[in-house]
């Protein structure tokens, strides 16, 4: 049964139907300004906004510099302010208001991202749809409430369920300022806006790169989240999905009978398993790819491990026991406070 379940999940998350592909929109990116300086050598205005509301950024952010060669292999050795434009990903994957909820899920799953902006016919970003939104929507459907399916995604457009407004930063903003916005708003990515258009994304992945590049010291035990929300291997996907929803977290640690971490069950697994029998054991669908680090591991090293392994969280061990977890937002808070 376990093999059959995994094949079904792999088929679901690796395929995108033609209608979903039609709803995908790529926003072009103009040449970026790496140094953030104007013609006279003055720093350009920095801002972060939501629905057009400007937030002032702390000027102390500009003091943080890094060695470019440590972040971009092959680059010349030089020190420069670490700006959003240096690390942001581009172009931006987006959906349209009439994209169906299930199509949006397939796009997010295939690209392994947790959210996408909703862009209207004029190219204006009007909202965001995320895995958190999809999980909330699916848990409220009749089939889910009746216990027939753990999650049931409706045949409705994302415009009916998206979060209105988009949190943006300037490409000239320091990474510390972008991290501060992410920590304050509790979001895992902010969009980079220039001349009214979305030109990039700055996410937890870029936060990890920044912590690594700036070689931030301190141990992960000082900033980890505790206690850890966990479930036993014997739990069902219905129980795991319900716990995710009630705890308002993006993932749970799955432990064996010795309380040792053996996997994680996240929003990704919950949505991928939405058509399975609710009594299916969580071990059949959990993600076995976990990253563990000692409580005294320095932040920059843990960030490097997380970046290279594409782990969204680091499980913290002391004397072989699970004592905490450091999430992407924990790293963002560290970077913001630097």
Contacts of 116 (CB under 8 A, 6+ apart): 93, 94, 95, 104, 107, 108, 128, 129, 130
% of the chain surpassing 90 pLDDT:
53
| Residue 8, H or E segment | helix 2-14
Q: Quote the pLDDT of residue 58.
A: 43
Residue 43 pLDDT > 70: no
Phi, psi of 304 (to 5 degrees): -65, -45
pLDDT range class, residue 71, cuts 50, 70, 90: low
Structure-token pair, residue 230: 């966990």
Which parts of the chain are beta strand (E)?
24-27, 48-50, 53-55, 65-67, 79-81, 92-95, 115-119, 125-130, 163-164, 167-169, 189-194, 197-203, 230-232, 251-255, 261-266, 292-294, 313-318, 321-327
Better pLDDT: 99 or 78: 99
**DSSP category for residue 122:** T
Q: Which of 39-43, 179-183, 248-252, 277-281 has the lowest mean pLDDT?
A: 39-43
pLDDT for the residue 52: 34
Structure confidence at residue 139 (pLDDT): 58
How far is C-alpha 225 from the chain's CA centre? Answer: 17
324 strand-pairing partners: 316
Q: Which of 47, 167, 158 is nearest to 102 (CA)?
A: 158
Average pLDDT of the chain is: 78
In this predicted model, which residue has the larger pLDDT, 260 or 27? 260
Domains of the chain: 220-336 (3.10.580.10)
Is it the case that residue 143 has pLDDT exceeding 80?
no
Label residue 33 by pLDDT band (50, 70, 90).
very low
Indicate the pairing of strand 65-67 with strand 163-164: unpaired
Q: Determine the pLDDT at residue 39.
A: 29
Q: Which residue has the higher pLDDT, 221 or 144?
A: 221
List pLDDT tens digits, range 282-291. Answer: 999 999 999 9
Q: Is the dihedral of CA 8, 141, 129, 279 positive or negative?
A: negative
Q: Per residue in 239-256, pLDDT tens? A: 998 898 888 888 999 999
Question: What is the rounded end-to-end Cα distance, in angstroms, of the chain?
Answer: 49
- The encoded tokens of residue 78 equal 């030089």
| pLDDT surpasses 50 at 42 | no
- Give the residue with greater pLDDT, 163 vs 180: 180
Average pLDDT of the segment spanning 156-184:
94
Q: Which residues contact 309 (CB under 8 A, 6 or more apart)?
A: 289, 291
pLDDT given at position 150: 53
Res 74: pLDDT: 52
């Amino acid at each position: 049964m376990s093999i059959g379940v995994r094949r079904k999940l792999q088929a679901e998350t690796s395929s995108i139907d033609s209608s979903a592909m039609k709803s995908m929109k790529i926003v072009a990116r103009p040449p970026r300004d790496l140094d953030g300086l104007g013609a006279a050598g003055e720093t350009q205005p920095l801002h972060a906004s939501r629905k057009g509301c400007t937030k002032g950024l702390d000027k102390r952010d500009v003091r943080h510099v890094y060695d470019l060669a440590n972040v971009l292999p092959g680059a010349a050795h030089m020190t420069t302010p670490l700006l959003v434009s240096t690390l942001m990903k581009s172009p931006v994957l987006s959906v349209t208001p009439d994209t169906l909820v299930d199509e949006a899920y397939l796009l997010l799953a295939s690209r392994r991202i947790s959210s996408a902006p909703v862009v209207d016919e004029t190219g204006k970003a009007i909202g965001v749809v995320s895995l958190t939104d999809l999980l909330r929507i699916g848990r409220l459907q009749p089939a889910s409430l009746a216990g027939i399916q753990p999650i049931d995604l409706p045949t409705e457009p994302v415009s009916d369920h998206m979060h209105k407004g988009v949190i943006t930063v300037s490409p000239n903003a320091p990474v510390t300022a972008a991290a501060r916005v992410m920590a304050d708003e509790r979001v895992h990515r902010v969009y980079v806006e220039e001349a009214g258009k979305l030109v990039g994304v700055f996410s937890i992945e870029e936060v990890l790169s920044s912590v690594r590049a700036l070689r931030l010291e301190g141990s992960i035990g000082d900033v980890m989240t505790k206690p850890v929300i966990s479930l036993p291997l014997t739990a069902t996907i219905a129980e795991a999905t319900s716990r995710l929803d009630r705890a308002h977290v993006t993932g749970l640690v799955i432990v064996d009978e010795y309380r040792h971490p053996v996997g994680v069950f996240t929003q990704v697994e919950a949505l991928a398993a939405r058509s399975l029998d609710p009594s299916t054991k969580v071990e059949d669908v959990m993600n076995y790819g976990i990253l563990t680090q000692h409580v005294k591991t320095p932040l920059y090293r843990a960030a490097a491990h997380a970046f290279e392994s594409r782990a969204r969280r680091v499980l913290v061990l002391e004397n072989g026991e699970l004592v905490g977890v450091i999430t992407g937002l924990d790293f963002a808070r560290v970077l913001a406070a630097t």
